Amino acid sequence: MENQQGNQLINKFVVSLINGQILGYVTDINVEVDRDQFYFILKMKSLENISKSGELQPGMFSSEKKIKIKPSDIVTVGPDVIILGNGQVPPIREIERLHNIASEYNTLVKELEHKEKVIAELKEENSKLMKQIEELTKELKRLQVIKEDFEHLKEQLIKQEGQLEMAKEYIRLLEGLRHDIDQIKADVETLIKGYIEDVIRKIVNEELNARGLKKTLL
């Protein structure tokens, strides 16, 4: 895998983002491994006498030199150029990833601001609802007191209705007793009247008998 990556670096210009210079043109590459870290040894020709037009001309390449880089030093590799950041500039993919993270972060910030606005509106609405609940709670307590008073009055009314019914029953009983008393009185008066008539008749008859007269028809 390291060899494949290394082959992609041959026949390309090397540019440093740190100092903004063209370091040379890669002609060959070797891979060096040190413990768990591997390095690219770039063999390249330095550039000199670059024309103002920037075009490559004979005599631009001078002596060869070698530089040792880590894969993390490479920012990106294009068709004709290798851009190095010497570990101070993250790779393009990392930059793109960070850019995506920043975009996602900005999106999340906007969503968070929107949600904070919604939360503020909900808090305001909740405050209004709490006031309404407080007022309704007071009204409920007032209605509860009224209900308790009503239940008390209802119990008293039922008690009074029971007492009234008992009074009516007592009156009906007295009416019945009065009728019975009147009947007994009438019967007693009849008995007394009959008894008195019998006594008078007996006395009269005895008197007539004593005188030798006929008995009275009384």
Query: In this predicted model, what pLDDT tens digit does every residue of 9-43 receive, in sequence order?
Result: 888 888 887 777 888 888 888 888 888 888 888 88
How far is Cα 159 from Cα 169, in angstroms, rounded to an integer? 15
How far is Cα 54 from Cα 118, in angstroms, rounded to an integer? 58
How far is Cα 39 from Cα 124, in angstroms, rounded to an integer? 62
The size of the chain, in residues, is: 218
CA nearest neighbour of 25 among 67, 73, 53: 67
Looking at residue 54, its pLDDT comes to 46
Q: 31: which 2 tokens?
A: 């891979």
Is residue 160 within a helix (H) or strand (E), and if so which, with residue range?
Answer: helix 92-211
Q: 6: which 2 tokens?
A: 């290394």
How far is Cα 83 from Cα 189, in angstroms, rounded to an integer? 146
Looking at residue 189, its pLDDT comes to 77
How far is Cα 41 from Cα 64, in angstroms, rounded to an integer? 13
pLDDT in tens, 190-217: 777 777 777 777 777 777 777 776 554 4
Strand partners, 119: none
Looking at residue 51, its pLDDT comes to 46
What's phi and psi for 89, nearest 5 deg?
-120, 125
Radius of gyration of the chain (CA): 65
Looking at residue 70, its pLDDT comes to 83
Q: Which residues of the chain have pLDDT under 70?
A: 1-7, 48-62, 87-95, 98, 213-218
Looking at residue 91, its pLDDT comes to 61
How far is Cα 80 from Cα 15, in angstroms, rounded to an integer? 11
CA angle 29, 31, 32 (to 5 degrees): 135
